[in-house]
């Protein structure tokens, strides 16, 4: 929630640099006096301008102000000085809305007493100061010429506020000699400066943690803001965006205007903050990033953000304060307006990708093994080790519950420690192919061994031979599914019971297999016969080899990754 933190006027307190500070509860700091004691003419006029240059509205239903957070904060501040909202009591003749280029808004108000119009202006303090030639005295309604020394004092105060992370607005007014003069941008000159207000918009507590996690995962975080450089740098430090050297890490909108897309692409690696940026700048930044081949996620909430949201790979808009245009242009809407939701989304995305790889490893290794068994028996003119019904049952298991349960494996939070994938990266990587072929080889060798061993006893294929081979393959399938729950972590590390759906799926599959070999009705369908306890134990021992081999592969992979990370950290 944005609040007014500091209000500064040039002439208050006997021309001394005076800052009226407010805490989060909107009470004066270092003062036991009433807020009205500070209501000098320049302070009153500054608050009045904040009231009139304002489009927030009061909701009777919720008893709060709704609208732009800056406008809401300015209206809330009136009550602390016991000043009323006068917008319904004055006649607004014309309004010059805020835009990102002029960085100010103005309202033309008619005074019914003398039929003269006054233009009230609020905006970026640099622009207000640039167009101001006089300032309002603290007593009476006198104005005096604004000297260069006084402008330097105002700049000093504004930069001091900005360095504290405050969003600094300047306020000024202009009394028109001719009330019929239309309010245009060219009219904004020779203003009377009234004061500055510093707005505090504290970041949410979980934003810093989210950014730390994203940076750890190799995500390049870039802040694009309309605020001044000092404000942007302070906020960046608060939320954990690295700012090693402001001269290198920060780029202003003015400098950005002088750069081509190629020049921008060259400097964007070390630039984390773009200050005083316009929607056009956002569009140029997104275009430059995409030109380099980066996958770009862009956040925004305003109508002017829509082009950049549309151009980015993933446009992210705010659900609460975002405009309908921004939501329509985006690919994802944050219903809670919480930046940390992006971390959750990226984490889920990486987790889903890993689950797809594990799912495919299981599916393809089982398919390769089943096809190889049939191909080998045909090539060597051996009897088929599995009959049609048994192969069908294996396919049901392979495509059924165990395979599906791998797709809902809980996301490993350590996925954020891995760098983002490239656009050209494939799901079936070289490592995935090696893993599935190794797994398939284990299944083939173990199953063929059981088949040959059983067939060698009498020289022909019996129901017992196919039952042993069939059950061996199914057990291999279950151990393979267990191994495929994670690519690098041991099952003893992730836990046997962290995926309940997987446990139910494997349990039901094994129960179905027991029914196929022990219930007479199913024995007649699958051409199986009852196996002894020693047979089951032998099959479990042999089929567990696929699990053991993959656990050893995971151990070797972890050791290798640790050595690589140690080497690079030493370098």
Structure tokens at 342: 């992006």
| Site of tokens 């020289």 | 459
Full DSSP string of 374-390: HHHHHHTTPPPSS-HHH
Task: Please tell me the distance from the alpha carbon of residue 238 to that of residue 220, in angstroms, as a whole number.
Answer: 17
Where does 225-354 show beta strands of DSSP type E? 250-252, 273-275, 297-300, 314-318, 332-334
Q: How far apart are CA 558 and CA 555, in angstroms?
A: 5
- Report whether 159 contacts 230 (CB < 8 A): yes
Say what the pTM is.
Answer: 0.72
* 471 closest CA partner among 393, 399, 547: 393
Pairing outcome for strands 64-66 and 91-96: unpaired
Fold of the domain spanning 3-200? Calcium-transporting ATPase, cytoplasmic domain N (3.40.1110)
CB 251 within 8 A of CB 288: no
Please give the Cα distance from 427 to 335 (Å, whole number).
Answer: 31
Element at 256 (helix H, strand E):
helix 253-257
- 229-239 and 205-216 helices cross at what angle (nearest 10)? 80
Helix, strand or coil, per DSSP, at residue 20: strand
- DSSP SS3 for 316: strand
In this structure, what DSSP letter does residue 422 have?
P
Determine the 3-state secondary structure of 111 from DSSP.
Answer: strand
List the chain pLDDT tens, one digit each, 571 residues. 556 767 777 665 333 333 444 333 333 333 333 445 567 788 889 999 999 999 998 888 777 888 888 899 899 888 888 899 999 999 999 999 988 788 899 999 998 878 899 999 999 999 999 999 999 887 767 788 999 999 999 999 998 888 888 889 999 999 998 888 999 999 999 999 999 998 888 888 888 988 988 888 888 899 998 888 888 898 899 889 988 887 888 999 889 888 888 888 888 888 999 998 888 899 999 998 888 888 899 998 888 889 999 999 999 988 877 888 989 998 989 888 888 888 888 888 888 999 999 999 999 999 999 999 989 888 888 888 888 899 888 888 766 788 889 988 998 888 888 888 877 788 888 999 999 999 999 999 999 999 999 988 877 889 999 999 999 999 999 999 999 999 989 999 999 999 999 999 999 999 999 999 999 999 999 999 999 999 999 999 999 999 999 999 999 988 887 765 543 343 3
CATH code of the domain occupying 343-570: 1.20.1110.10
Dist CA 129 CA 146 (whole Å): 10
Question: Rounded CA gap, 420 and 219, in Å?
Answer: 7
pLDDT on residue 564: 59
Tokens, residue 509: 């599959």
Which two three-digit tokens encode residue 212?
A: 């730390």
DSSP H helices in 519-544: 520-526, 533-543
The residue among 193, 173, 169, 168 whose CA lies nearest residue 183 is 173
Query: Distance between CA 437 and CA 440 in Å, rounded?
Result: 5
First to last CA, the chain: 45
- Report d(CA 119, CA 93) in Å as an integer: 10
Domain extents for the chain?
3-200, 205-335, 343-570
Pick the CATH number of 205-335 from 3.40.50.1000, 3.60.15.10, 1.20.1600.10, 3.30.70.1230: 3.40.50.1000
List the beta bridge partners of residue 141: none
Nearest-10 crossing angle of helices 430-456, 545-570? 160
């Amino acid at each position: 929630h944005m609040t007014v933190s500091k209000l500064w006027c040039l002439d208050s307190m006997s021309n001394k640099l005076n800052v009226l500070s407010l805490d989060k509860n909107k009470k004066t700091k270092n003062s036991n006096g009433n807020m009205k004691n500070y209501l000098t003419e320049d302070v009153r006029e500054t608050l009045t301008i904040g009231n009139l240059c304002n489009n927030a509205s009061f909701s009777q239903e919720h008893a709060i102000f709704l609208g732009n957070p800056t406008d809401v904060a300015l209206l809330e501040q009136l009550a602390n000085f016991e000043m009323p909202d006068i917008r319904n009591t004055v006649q607004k003749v014309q309004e010059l809305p805020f835009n990102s280029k002029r960085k100010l808004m103005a309202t033309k108000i008619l005074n019914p007493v003398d039929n003269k119009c006054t233009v009230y202006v609020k905006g970026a303090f640099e622009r207000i100061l640039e167009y101001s030639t006089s300032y309002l005295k603290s007593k009476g309604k006198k104005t005096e010429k604004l000297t260069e020394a006084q402008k330097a004092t105002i700049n000093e105060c504004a930069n001091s506020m900005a360095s504290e992370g405050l969003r600094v607005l300047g306020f000024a007014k202009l009394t028109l000699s001719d009330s019929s003069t239309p309010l245009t941008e060219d009219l904004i000159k020779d203003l009377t400066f009234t004061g500055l207000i510093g707005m505090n918009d504290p970041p949410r507590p979980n934003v810093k943690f989210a950014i730390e996690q994203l940076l750890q995962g190799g995500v390049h975080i870039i802040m694009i803001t309309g605020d001044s450089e000092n404000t942007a740098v302070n906020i960046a430090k608060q939320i954990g965006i690295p700012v090693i050297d402001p001269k290198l890490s920060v780029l202003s909108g003015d400098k950005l205007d002088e750069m081509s897309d190629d020049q921008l692409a060259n400097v964007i690696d070390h630039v984390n903050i773009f200050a005083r940026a316009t929607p056009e700048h956002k569009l140029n930044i997104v275009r430059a990033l995409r030109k380099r081949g980066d996958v770009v996620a862009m956040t925004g909430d305003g109508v002017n953000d829509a082009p950049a949201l549309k151009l980015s790979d993933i446009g992210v808009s705010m659900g609460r304060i975002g405009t309908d245009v921004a939501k329509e242009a985006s690919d994802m809407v944050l219903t809670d307006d919480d930046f940390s939701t992006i971390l959750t989304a990226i984490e889920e995305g990486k987790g889903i990708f890993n689950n797809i790889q594990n799912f495919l490893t299981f599916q393809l290794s089982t398919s390769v093994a089943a096809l190889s068994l049939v191909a080998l028996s045909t090539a060597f003119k051996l009897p088929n080790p599995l009959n049609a019904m048994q192969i069908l049952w294996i396919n049901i298991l392979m495509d059924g519950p165990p395979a599906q349960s791998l797709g809902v494996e809980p996301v490993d939070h350590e996925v954020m420690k891995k760098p983002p994938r490239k656009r050209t990266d494939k799901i079936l990587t070289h490592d995935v192919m090696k893993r599935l072929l190794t797994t398939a080889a284990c299944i083939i060798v173990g199953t063929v061994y059981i088949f040959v061993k059983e067939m060698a006893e009498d020289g022909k294929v019996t129901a017992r031979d196919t039952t042993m081979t069939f059950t061996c393959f199914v057990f291999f399938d279950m151990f393979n599914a267990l191994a495929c729950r994670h690519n690098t972590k041991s099952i003893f590390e992730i836990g046997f019971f962290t995926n309940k759906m997987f446990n139910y799926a494997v349990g039901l599959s094994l129960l179905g297999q027991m029914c196929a070999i022990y219930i007479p009705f199913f024995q007649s369908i699958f051409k199986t016969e009852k196996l002894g306890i020693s047979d089951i134990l032998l099959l479990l021992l042999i089929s567990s080899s696929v699990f053991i081999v993959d656990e050893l592969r995971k151990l070797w992979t972890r050791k290798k990754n640790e050595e690589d990370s140690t080497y690079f950290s030493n370098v």
